[in-house]
Structure 1
Amino acid sequence: MHPLIELIKKDMVPALGVTEPGCIAFAVAKAKSYLTSKPERVVLSLNSGLYKNAYTCGIPNSSHYGIKYAAAFGLIMADSQKGLQALEGITPDDDRKAEQLIQKDRIIVKLSGISSALYCQATVYSKHEECTVTIEQSHTNITSIRLNGQSIFHNVIQNRQDTTPLIHQYSVKDIWEAVRSFSEEELSFIQKAFDMNMSLFKEGLQSQKTVILHQLYRMNENTIFS
């Protein structure tokens, strides 16, 4: 597979809702999965970019939004096996349970630092256990898991500040020539992504929650051109 196609595919992972709440729920659910007793509370540590992007994001099938609710649903019902679709299947009962967790201050959120480099650390506590899952660089890239203070998984990663991003290694001419050499079959996944996004767009037109979509639609004279 050509490196450019691989790069695009890695950046086009389907998610249920916005990726940032999905990342938070995935981290919490993953940590929860290692506990043998009932999880009771969560402490999150997020970089500023993730914190900002998740702060006002709506949660699919819920009347709630934001970081704390993403973590609460991660604790209550999220399935880490589903990755960024971990929040699939929220019910009204889950909504009520999440509200109770928030009201009891069982979800604590901290800022790890001012940075655009993705960082999400979720520690889930039960009465006698704790598990910490750390995610870095991309929304499901687990770099560390610690269970009751002991490391059970560790993945050493390069410092991205010292590494030139792959896309920067190509000139515009390089990209243009590569694209012209790709077969239709190699690029078919882009059509699938377009179809998914168009379906989401049409669904959004039917919802009053998608405020920005409706504003852009009005600004475009209620015309769909792309």
Structure 2
Amino acid sequence: MVISIKSFLRREVRPALGCTEPGAVALSVARACEELSDREHVAAVRVTVSTSIYKNGMAVGIPGANGAKGNALAAALGAIVGRSSYGLEVLKDTTEAHVERARGWVDEERVSVVCDPGRSGVYVLSAVFTPTHKAVCLVSGSHDRIAKVMLDGRTVYEAQSEGSSQESVEELPSSYDEAFGMVDHLDSEDEDFLLRGVEMNMAVARVGLSGDGRSLGLGRSLMEVSAGGDVGLKIRAYCTAAADSRMWGVQMPVMSSAGSGNHGITAILPVAILGEELMASRSQVARALALSHLSTSFIKRRLGRLSPVCGCSVAAGAGAAAGMCLLMGGGLEEVKEAMGMVLANLAGMLCDGAKESCALKVGTGSYEAYLAARWAVQGIKMFKPQGVLSDLFEESVENVARVNSEGMRDVDKVMIHIMDRYPLGSRGGEA
């Protein structure tokens, strides 16, 4: 069954606090702890994660932790302060006192996070021990999908299988032309929701631009270059700044797209900034934002929720190109051309884990998306077939997905081997 635009937005466009991979770890631990009446007496936390979760949570800042990083710290905070009812904002109540306590747990080796090399995608299995009880929680399928909870060997909650749930039965159409047509069914409530995402992500970008120490300052430096009024560089600066502060661990949510906050930054901010530049109406911007999210998810469902390819630049970059092309007056064919240019340009960009340099990739994806949209509305077209590009857009996406799944099959394992060689302290203060 084809999903409605309203259901799609509620499922795929959600607020997320911090990187969603350690967020999933914290969520899993927090939910397990909620089964324990003596939560204050947790003796140990043991977490097993997929290669994808392990890689992406290894060196990224945790919200509210003043730049401290890592899955182990997220797991400790999940036990100490996490609330599963907050979903991907599970750690929003974190204070400095909680962080210091969590650091102590990690130092005392009360918390461990290990990688299961046979697992990929979203998989987090947490076991929390007190002197008298053991609680277990599995998060799988998507970052906030609690699949199973157990207490002392007894199942207390189990979600429907992904194949039988209503949410998973409802899918985007297999034809991009049909997905494109979904933007015509937005109502005022949908528009309000989409524009709230602009407000959230702009707020995080402003932190990165402020120079207040909660980022490397990459976006702020780019703004100096874009002072002449180049909208493409402004887009790049704002997107870089937002991802920079988010990867540092700023304690502010962003509106995510297709399960990723950085995807949300790339899918939303370029469209919003260009819309302001073009003095587009509220409805025009909302429609372009909806197309950006739809296009991002159209590609992500083929790449996989987590992948060796950088989805922020490839999938969300293509999505942003679609939205900006629509704003500039492009129709369906121009939109597909713009997206194809992004795929041809960035399809091989490597995901080497979530960390500060993701800001560079988010900035690259957003800027290249803007250029692709401009070229497409100017009538510039790539000859096809060539490289990953096919005469059919859907086949181009499948080609990129095949490069991802077959050609880059062992990339995550290689990356983890490289990253595990470095001592914890060399990764920017990982706790």
How does the TM-score come out when normalised to structure 2? 0.47
% identical aligned pairs: 23
Structure 1 residue aligned with 2:65: 62
Q: Which has the higher helix share?
A: 2
Q: Is 1:210 aligned with 2:210?
A: no
Q: Structure 1: which amino acid aligns with 2:9?
A: I
Unaligned runs of 5+ in 2: 228-232, 236-272, 274-431
Q: Is 1:43 aligned with 2:46?
A: yes
Mapped to 2, the partners of 1:29 and 1:197 lie a distance apart of 26
Alpha carbons of 1:31 and 1:220: their partners in 2 closer, same or farther (altered >3 Å)? farther
1:178 CA displacement: 2.1
Alpha carbons of 1:89 and 1:178: their partners in 2 closer, same or farther (altered >3 Å)? closer
Mapped to 1, the partners of 2:48 and 2:86 lie a distance apart of 22
2:43 aligned counterpart, secondary structure: strand
Asked whether the equivalents of residues 207 and 214 of structure 2 are also in contact (C-alpha less than 8 Å), the reply is no
70-79 or 208-217, larger mean C-alpha shift: 208-217
2:155 aligned counterpart, secondary structure: strand
Alpha carbons of 1:104 and 1:28: their partners in 2 closer, same or farther (altered >3 Å)? same
Asked whether the equivalents of residues 28 and 133 of structure 1 are also in contact (C-alpha less than 8 Å), the reply is yes
Q: Structure 1: which amino acid aligns with 2:50?
A: N
Structure 1 residue aligned with 2:76: 72
Structure 2 residue aligned with 1:29: 30
Mapped to 2, the partners of 1:185 and 1:98 lie a distance apart of 40
Mapped to 2, the partners of 1:34 and 1:145 lie a distance apart of 9
Mapped to 2, the partners of 1:143 and 1:2 lie a distance apart of 22
Mapped to 1, the partners of 2:150 and 2:221 lie a distance apart of 45
Q: Structure 1: which amino acid aligns with 2:184?
A: R
The total of aligned residue pairs comes to 223
Deviations 1:67-108 (A, max 9, x none): 000011111122222222121232222222112111111111
1:211 aligned counterpart, secondary structure: coil
Structure 1 residue aligned with 2:429: none
1:180 CA displacement: 2.4
1:199 CA displacement: 1.1
Q: Is 1:177 aligned with 2:181?
A: yes
Q: Provide the aligned C-alpha RMSD in A.
A: 2.7
Unaligned runs of 5+ in 1: none
Alpha carbons of 1:151 and 1:212: their partners in 2 closer, same or farther (altered >3 Å)? farther
Alpha carbons of 1:170 and 1:8: their partners in 2 closer, same or farther (altered >3 Å)? farther
Q: Which has the higher strand share?
A: 1
Q: Structure 2: which amino acid aligns with 1:211?
A: L
1:214 CA displacement: 2.7
2:23 aligned counterpart, secondary structure: helix
Mapped to 2, the partners of 1:174 and 1:124 lie a distance apart of 46
